[in-house]
Amino acid sequence: MSILVDKGTRLLVQGITGGEGSFHTQRCIEYGTKVVAGVTPGKGGNQILGVPVYNDVERAVAETEANA
């Protein structure tokens, strides 16, 4: 199964505050991907790389309309 990313893709990154998560999020942003939210339990309310961080996926999707 392929996952296609296009101009309408609104990406949510799980584990965004970790080393790997922040590294790959930075690369996605540089490539032009629209990263709209990150999720790390216990770190909601912060921002990393200009991306808002939420405690859970449900709230992140509800507030940002992330679709990937």
Per-residue pLDDT of the chain (68 residues; tens, 9 = 90+): 677 888 999 999 999 999 999 999 999 999 999 999 999 999 999 999 999 999 999 999 999 999 99
Per-domain boundaries in the chain: 11-64
Q: What does the alpha-carbon distance between residue 6 and residue 65 come to, in Å, rounded to a whole number?
A: 15
Predicted confidence at residue 26, as pLDDT, reads: 98
Helix and strand numbers, DSSP H then E, in the chain: 2, 4
pLDDT at 2: 74
**Predicted TM-score of the model (pTM):** 0.91
Which DSSP helix (H) or strand (E) runs through 36?
A: strand 35-39
CATH topology of domain 11-64: Rossmann fold (3.40.50)
pLDDT at position 1: 65
